Structure 1
Amino acid sequence: MKKTLLLAGLLALTGSLCAQNMPLCEVFEKLGNNSSDFSPLMGPATDTLEINFVSTIEVDKAEKSIFKKLLGAPYFEASYGNFQTEAEALQFVKGIQQEFSACWEGFRFPEKYDKALNIRDFRFVQDAENIFRVYEASLRIDQWAGEFYVSFRFPQSSDDFFTGTTPAFVDYQVLPKTEDDSPFAFSLKLVMTEAFEGFERIRGDLILD
């Protein structure tokens, strides 16, 4: 067992030394181009359970960049470290977003807040002419033991028993017509906007059958 762990550690060290360090926008593009299969970007497992894998790409300014595989398809994770307050974490995320936008225009970062788990996910949405693309990737702030942790996550597209069908991104077509100001259009726009917030502000009480 000790020899196995030692070998895994040496392989992980070798893999990390050969990893390409690049800005987040370049890592994002590479992950997007390989979203159907991350295996060309993955090195060997670093543990006997084969949950954590060496990454051949590393995000600049991140403390650690790895691939993880729990159930179903793997996902890439870059950890930026911990912060004492949520305000500090939010300010740091804002800085990452600004750097990303300077490198790759046309992105916005709507927030999805999980109140129960106290997790903030800032999704990546790319706007283009007559289309917008919503990625599963996000900048995440989660709280643990009184501190706030910032990470970037990008899941591989999956279609399996455990996670079902989850594409890495979905494209939405914008219909080329004048704005519809009907009550139905207003309600539909409200629902689409609230979807990023889990419908918290428009959801009523639970109805039991």
Structure 2
Amino acid sequence: MSLTPPTVFIVDDDASICRSLARLVRQAGLDGRTYPSAEAFLEAHPAPPSRPACLVVDLQMPGLSGLELQQRLLESHSSCPVVFISGNGDIPSTVRAMRQGAVTFLTKPFDNDDLLRAIGEGLEKHRATLAAGQQVSSIRERMKTLTERELEVMSWVITGALNKQVAAELNVVEKTVKVHRARVLEKMQAQSVAELVRLCALVGFAAAEPS
């Protein structure tokens, strides 16, 4: 297990706030990194983080605003959670931020414990999202090992069809279906048809439709 702590990206044009927040998150055992602008953050991190992370972003900054940064992240399919901080947050901005998936919106001056709680919530959310993404990638890799016939059989198996029904649909003998079915379960690392159905659903694999 890696001992690398989760990362908290702090984006604020106020250098003193960056320093104080970085000190706060580091004291909490996290890796605090600071950026003076949204542009600086995007330049340093063109790709979404692949490890648990959370963004603490000032709402109003020169250049790209916090909301615009959040929108850029959404467009790049980043799942990194965002905690907004602002000295004068207005209701429309707060509503927009929350609708776009922000963890919370804190008005300066805020309680440090509230910020740490929000960061913790964001990190847990990101861990879960990353784990789900890794599971989907693993399922897709397993699916690549299936032959064309095995994929065909799997599309029928997940409908709940019996072996003899699958055999009739594919115009093969029932014994052949049994062999392919067993190989599919083995390659997909599924202990049951129910689990196979769940795995297929996670990656959007379509079930066959009776003719």
TM beyond 0.5: no
TM-score w.r.t. structure 2 length? 0.25
Structure with the larger strand share: 1
Structure with the larger helix share: 2
